[in-house]
Amino acid sequence: MSEVLLDAPGRGAPGAPAEQAMVGGIPVASDLSRSELLLAQRVGEVGSVHSWELVTAVDGPGTRMTTFLAGCPLRCLYCHNPDTMTANRGMPVRAEDLLARIRRYRGVFRATKGGITLSGGEVLQQPGFAGRILRGAKEMGIHTAIDTSGFLGANASDELLADVDLVLLDVKSGDEATYRRVTGRDLAPTLDFGRRLDALGIATWIRFVLVPGLTDDPDNIAPIADYAASLGNVERVEVLPFHQMGRAKWDGLGLRYELGDTEPPSAAQVAATRAIFEARGLLTY
Report domain extents, the chain: 2-278
pLDDT recorded at residue 15: 38
Beta bridge partners of 284: 237
**Banded pLDDT at 56 (limits 50, 70, 90):** confident
**Banded pLDDT at 265 (limits 50, 70, 90):** very high
Instruction: Look at residue 16 and tell me whether its pLDDT is greater than 60.
Output: no
In three-state secondary structure terms, 188 is helix
Residue 277 has phi, psi (to 5 degrees) of -70, -45
Exposed/middle/buried for residue 256 (C-beta within 10 Å: 0-12, 13-18, 19+)? exposed
The pLDDT tens digits for 95-136 are 999 999 999 999 999 999 999 999 999 999 999 999 999 999
**229 CB neighbour count, 10 Å cutoff:** 15
In three-state secondary structure terms, 285 is coil
**163 CB neighbour count, 10 Å cutoff:** 18
pTM listed for this prediction: 0.92
Residue 23 has phi, psi (to 5 degrees) of -120, 95
The pLDDT tens digits for 270-284 are 999 999 999 999 999
Angle 181-249-257 from CA coordinates, rounded to 5° = 35
Q: Is the dihedral of CA 262, 267, 272, 273 positive or negative?
A: positive
Q: Are 64 and 142 in contact (CB under 8 A)?
A: no
- Mean per-residue pLDDT for 191-207? 98
Q: Would you identify the CATH topology of the domain 2-278?
A: TIM Barrel (3.20.20)
